[in-house]
Structure 1
Amino acid sequence: MHGTSALAADTAHSVTPPDAATIEKQWVAANRAFDGVRQAILAQTGKIAWQGPMQPDWQSLTGYTTPEWYRDAKFGIFIHWGVYSVAAYKGEWYPRHAYERTGEYADYYQHQIKTYGPMPQVGYKDLIPLFKAEHFDPNAWASLFREAGARYVVPVAEHHDGFAMYDSKLSDWTAVKMGPHRDVIGELAKAIRAQGMKLGLSSHRAEHDWFYEYGRTFNSDVNDPRYAALYGPAHPSISVKGEDGQDVDWTFVSDVYLNDWLARSSEIVQDYHPDLMYFDWWVGQPRFRGALAEFAAFYYNQAAARGQGVVLNYKLDDMRPGTGTLSIERGQAADIRAQPWQTETSISPDSWGYAENDTYKTPDEIVQLLADVVSKNGNLLLNIGPKADGTIPEQARQILLAIGQWMHANGEAIYGTRPWTHFGEGPTQVVSGTMQDTKTKPYTAKDFRFTTDNGHLYAIEMAWPASGQVLIHSITPSMKVSSVTQLASGKSVAFRQQADGLHLVLPAQPSGVHVYAYRIDVQKDEAETTKEGSASKS
């Protein structure tokens, strides 16, 4: 631990960033040792992309169909874990902000030099030896995730920082060759699948092209060619507006970088055969579109050859609708979407990677979000951030266990379900769209979400009524309800149908998460009304 004297020792001074050509030459030279392997992977990728049911064009890719396992799974775990967890300072964007000396994020830079030493002598690379993962137990992680009710798990294979958590043949900056000296992704893949869950993998490498750009502006180790393979091109950000006023490009991205991105993405698929691949938002910029289409065709075709149903998550308008599965970051949909979709959010309202003194959402909030998303034909991918030593923060663990207890008792209303004719009712309005998941007001006992499966209608109540009685307006007398069951207790619920809806007199309030699910059965001739709504189950 360095004292405040490190500030005085900081010899950093402003410099003019090298031009794009110089940056690119340094980065290409740093990766030249892997040229042969890269070309071999690209050749195989191109071959498979053109040999199968899909071809690398967006029209062909509209032939994609979301696999049933994903539509049935509903709940998955995301894992942001890497070198950034060593700093444990406000999350996974630490390596970028640690080089911002002024402005909104200057505290990151101050923290970096106070804690680890002055630049250029010390930088993010020097956190790698401190990332030891000495208590990492993939089997214990997988067991916890299964107990939490997850049906798929998505570890980050590589984040924006450029440090691969898998055994890459295209880099020396990996968890196998440095830090933990373990194939983290390989070990997790084995443990996850041993628990009967599907394996997803996440790559954020597209953003690596510019991630360390602030280190270019002064005398930092980002400018040292010896570390170019870790820090990447670190091109300065630019903003180019199209005729419609929207951003159409954000940094320089070379063909060489695109080829490297495609090779690294394909390498992950070739070596680990993930059931799901997740890309962050940067793959939607125009320079990536061709490489993204080639990857999608390759991914779908190689999976089809093995009889594997796979999912490719994308954000915003990064892919043509129908060619993959939309993921809305920290957000929700306003209504039922015809195509399956996903929201990914973190157990923390502020960070994805582990941060000391972090705050956490309550189990109630997370289960309410799950119910809302599932009622609209979506899945919830819930993120946790383990500590650098490989342990999962105790508060996060307890939240997962609470969710698991609820899922064990009420999962019938979640797993394998499809939307009803409408998603729900109640006074609380969801704030839809990206980065909105903490803006919805607290739910009330009058808020319900509906799902269906095998002729059953499920009503999920978002809070407990003080009176022990509720009214569900959407279930009209014409539906002829025959029975209502509280899932958590298995007890029958007294009911009566009136012109204003279905009235319930509830049994005792179940313990645990304050969200309550009811199975509602109707007379056989009315059962068809409770089958799938806009998104039918095939």
Structure 2
Amino acid sequence: MDNSITVVPKEMDGAEITQTDKMEARSLKEEEKIEQGVHNYSAADDYVWPTDAKVLEKLEWFQDQKLALMMHWGPYSQLGIVESWALSDADAEWSRTGIDWEVTGKEFKKQYFDLNKTFNPIRFEPEKWADIAEEAGIRYLVFTTKHHDGFCMWDTQYSGYKITGEDCPYHTNKHADICGHLFEAFRKRGIGIAAYFSKADWHIDHYWAKDYPRGDYMWRGPSYSPAECPEEWEKFTQFTGNQIKELASRYGKLDIMWFDAGWVCEQNGQDIRLGKIIDEIRTWQPGMLCADRTVGGPYENYITPEQCVPEKPLGVPWESCITLGTSFSFAYEDTYKSPREVIHLLIDIVAKGGNLAINVGPQPDGRLPKGAVESLRGVGAWLKVFGEAIYGTRVCEPYKSKNIAFTRKGEYVYALEMFQEDETNIPEEVWIPYAGKVKNVTMLDSAEKVLFTGRDGGIIVKVPVDSTAAPIARVYKLEV
């Protein structure tokens, strides 16, 4: 589906071009990077390497982690609809499907914003979530503290539209400050913390402000031109900066701040002075990474492909965020990728130098979906045996050849041979196209040395086969 937008210059019909028109033209061009809520990603050639030694050190840590758990959760989960996007009238065509509202856009938005009044996830147990993540081999959490709809999953002092607000029935629960409890539970298990934060806020009046020419019709950007209404925009900028600093000062160590809504940026006339905010935060959170996604520049410390994997290594830090089910938010009767699918996806990403942030949308009652948990545990079982070939590795040529991918750590190269579930012919001799000198080859799971012979451009390995079932992947450890 082609969602590109053509902007017709107003001078063609004789009308005067205003600052609002110019701002919208820039933002519409930015929107071409987003199709049905899925974002494109910044070009690796435009990546700006940090100069801060502690940030560079943290990037090495980031590239060691390989597997993250991403979570989109909020009042919208009650309906099983896409998070936030249905509020944007400009995105209504694709985002308001699946539910018959029979109301105007204005009434629909009121009903959506009122979902906080029924959100009561009384079966949320942060320790159980953390246990499941640890069992799955998760190394860091990317949690949605606030999506574009503006609902805050922490006890913010700057908005009443929050999980601890008096009109949210969950506000009296002992775990009501969800971010605080969740971050602490994951930290106790050595899992890093990334706070996802939308720079747009469609709930606050200083962003979707009333009494402007746009009326009730809204889009992703503000309802006014920041250049024409600097006082209004300054109020929004102050509000946003206060919330970002609040998360970074009240909720313990953050390894990463992960910023969505890339259309809110200086290039589009929507400057929130994010760089200045991050520099200030780094005075007390030294080395904290900033992922100002799709914006580029010195504060997009890593690139974030969404629902896709680059065809080749990017040569810079990156992370693909991909759903375990069919959507980022919870969907009723959703189907989930199998452990085999996730592991093959992870291997492909790691072989190209990236991380996988696998997304799970929690249920509205606070539990993780059973199908998602089963898949995560299957991933963890494989990683418990073969994780050495994943964690802490870096790229190794030829990266990937057919069903064999390569990683490297120190003096060892790992060749990961992947199998589809219905494969029945498991070869006893395997051609591994690694052209470097090889001293020894062992099977990673058994540590059993295997015979191999060198050929131009690689080696042939004699593999002990003890099962007719196709493994998810078997790993050869090459001492080089």
TM-score bracket for this pair, using the shorter chain length: 0.7 to 0.9
Taking the aligned partners of 2:392 and 2:223, their CA distance within structure 1 comes to 40
SS of residue in 1 equivalent to 2:239 = helix
Query: Which residue identity does 1:516 align to in structure 2?
Result: R
Q: 1:201 aligns with which of 195, 203, 210?
A: 195
Tell me the secondary structure at the aligned position of residue 170 of structure 2. Answer: coil
Q: Which residue type is aligned with residue 519 of structure 1?
A: K
DSSP 3-state at the match of 2:56:
coil
Equivalenced residue count is: 412
Q: CA deviation at 1:269?
A: 0.9
Counterpart Cα distance in 2 of 1:104 and 1:120: 15
Aligned to 1:188: 182
Match of 2:16 in 1: none
Q: Aligned-pair distance for 1:299? A: 3.1
Q: Corresponding residue for 2:65?
A: 73
Q: Which residue number corresponds to residue 8 of structure 1?
A: none
Tell me how far apart the structure 2 counterparts of residues 470 and 451 of structure 1 sit (CA, whole Å): 21
Distance 2:177 2:225 in 1: 32
User: Aligned-pair distance for 1:120?
Assistant: 7.3
Which residue identity does 1:502 align to in structure 2? Answer: I
How far apart are the structure 1 equivalents of 2:127 and 2:198? 25
Q: Residue 258 of structure 1 contacts residue 288 of structure 1 at CA under 8 Å; is this kept in 2?
A: no
1:324-370 Cα shifts (integer Å, max 9, x gaps): 1221122223322332211111112x310101122322222221221
CA RMSD of aligned residues (A): 3.6
Deviation at 1:294?
1.4
**Match for 1:498 among 446, 455, 464?**
455
Mapped to 2, the partners of 1:80 and 1:461 lie a distance apart of 33
Q: Residues 487 and 250 (structure 1 numbering): CA distance in 2 closer, same or farther, change over 3 Å?
A: farther
Where is the helix percentage greater, Structure 1 or Structure 2? Answer: 1
**Alpha-carbon distance in 2 for matches of 1:59, 1:70:** 16
The aligned counterpart of 1:332 is 309
After superposition, residues 371-410 of structure 1 pair within 5 angstroms as 371-410=347-386
SS in 1 for 2:263: helix
Task: Note closer, same or farther for the CA distance 1:72–1:484 as it changes in structure 2 (3 Å cut).
Answer: same
Aligned partner of 2:293 in structure 1 is 315
Partner residue of 2:409? 453
Matching residue within 119, 126, 132 for 1:131: 119
| Partner deviation per Cα, 1:24-80 (whole Å, 9 max, x = no partner) | xxxxxxxxxxxxxxxxxxxxxxxxxxxxxxxxxx99964441513222111110111
Task: Judge conservation of contact 2:119–2:364 (CA < 8 Å) in 1.
Answer: yes
Indicate how the Cα distance of structure 1 residues 236 and 111 shifts in structure 2: closer, same or farther if over 3 A, else same: closer
Q: Which residue does the alignment assign to 1:264?
A: 243
Give the corresponding residue for 2:323.
346
The separation in 2 between residues aligned to 1:193 and 1:392, in whole angstroms, is: 19
Counterpart mapping for 1:53-202 below 5 A: 62-63=51-52, 64-67=55-58, 68-89=60-81, 91-93=82-84, 95-96=86-87, 103-108=93-98, 110-111=100-101, 119=107, 123-177=111-165, 178-181=168-171, 182-202=176-196
CA distance in 1, matches of 2:332, 2:349: 30
Displacement of 1:129:
2.7
Distance verdict in 2 for CA 1:283–1:300, change over 3 Å: farther
The answer as to whether partners of 1:209 and 1:234 remain within 8 angstroms in 2 is no
- Asked if structure 2 preserves the Cα contact closer than 8 Å seen for 1:375 and 1:449, the reply is yes
Give SS of 1:331's match. Answer: coil
How far did 1:154 drift? 1.6
- The SS at the match of 2:290 is strand
Do the aligned partners of 1:300 and 1:310 also contact (CA within 8 Å) in 2? yes
Q: In 1, are the aligned partners of 2:353 and 2:394 still within 8 Å (CA)?
A: yes
Say which of 251, 259, 274 aligns to 2:254. Answer: 274
CA distance in 2, matches of 1:473, 1:294: 49
Task: Return closer, same or farther for 1:370/1:105 CA change in 2, 3 Å cut-off.
Answer: closer
Between the aligned partners of 1:517 and 1:396, the Cα distance in structure 2 is 26
2:401–2:433 CA contact under 8 A, matched in 1 = yes
Which residue of structure 1 aligns with residue 427 of structure 2? 468
Q: 1:312 to 1:422 in 2, by over 3 A?
A: farther
- Inter-partner Cα distance in structure 1 for 2:199 and 2:111: 20
Q: Give the drift of 1:393.
A: 0.6
Alpha carbons of structure 1 residues 101 and 156: separation in structure 2 relative to 1, 3 Å: closer
The aligned runs of 1:242-257 (5 Å cut-off) are: 252-253=225-226, 254-257=233-236
Change (3 A) 1:416 1:298: same
Which structure 2 residue ranges, 5 or more long, are not aligned?
1-18, 21-46, 227-232
Give 1:162 shift.
0.8
- Distance of aligned partners of 1:175 and 1:513 in 2 relative to their CA distance in 1, 3 Å threshold: farther
CA contact (8 A) 1:92 1:351 kept: no
SS across alignment from 2:413: strand
SS, match of residue 305 in structure 2: strand
The offset of 1:413, in angstroms, is 0.3
Question: Deviation of residue 451 (structure 1)?
Answer: 0.9
- Inter-CA distance 506–320: structure 2 relative to 1 (3 Å threshold): same
**Partners in 1 of 2:92 and 2:187 — Cα distance?**
45
CA distance in 1, matches of 2:242, 2:328: 26
Q: Percent identity?
A: 26
Question: Normalized against structure 1, the TM-score is what?
Answer: 0.68
Matched residue SS, 1:327:
coil
Residues 467 and 236 of structure 1: is their aligned pair in 2 closer, same or farther, counting only changes over 3 Å? closer
Verify the 8 A CA contact 2:453 2:459 in the aligned structure 1.
Answer: yes
Q: In structure 2, what residue type is equivalent to 1:338?
A: G
Task: Say if 2:237 and 2:272, in contact at 8 Å, map to a contact too.
Answer: no
For structure 1, the 5+ residue unaligned runs are: 1-19, 22-57, 217-221, 226-232, 240-248, 427-446, 523-538
Alpha carbons of 1:363 and 1:155: their partners in 2 closer, same or farther (altered >3 Å)?
Answer: same
* Matching of residue 236 in structure 1 with residue 218 in structure 2: yes
Contact 1:167 / 1:176 at 8 angstroms: preserved in 2? yes
- Kept in 2: contact 1:371–1:449 (CA 8 A): yes
- CA pair 492-234 structure 1, distance change in 2 beyond 3 A: farther
Q: Which residue of 2 aligns with 1:245?
A: none
Distance 1:396 1:145, change over 3 A: same
Give the Cα–Cα distance (whole angstroms) in 2 for the partners of residues 486 and 101 of structure 1.
Answer: 51
Q: State the shift of 1:267 in Å.
A: 1.4
Q: Distance in 2 between matches of 1:490 and 1:298?
A: 49
**Residue 48 of structure 2 contacts residue 298 of structure 2 at CA under 8 Å; is this kept in 1?**
no
Counterpart secondary structure, 2:285 = helix
So what's the TM-score if we normalise by structure 2?
Answer: 0.76
Deviations 1:116-137 (A, max 9, x none): xx94796123322321111000
In structure 2, relative to structure 1, the CA distance for the partners of 1:368 and 1:296 (3 Å cut) is same
Does structure 2 retain, via aligned residues, the 8 Å contact 1:189–1:199? yes
> Aligned letter for 1:360?
Y
Residue matched to 2:29: none
- Secondary structure of the 2:283 match is helix
One-letter code aligned to 1:344: C
**Cα pair distance change 1:121/1:299, threshold 3 Å:** closer
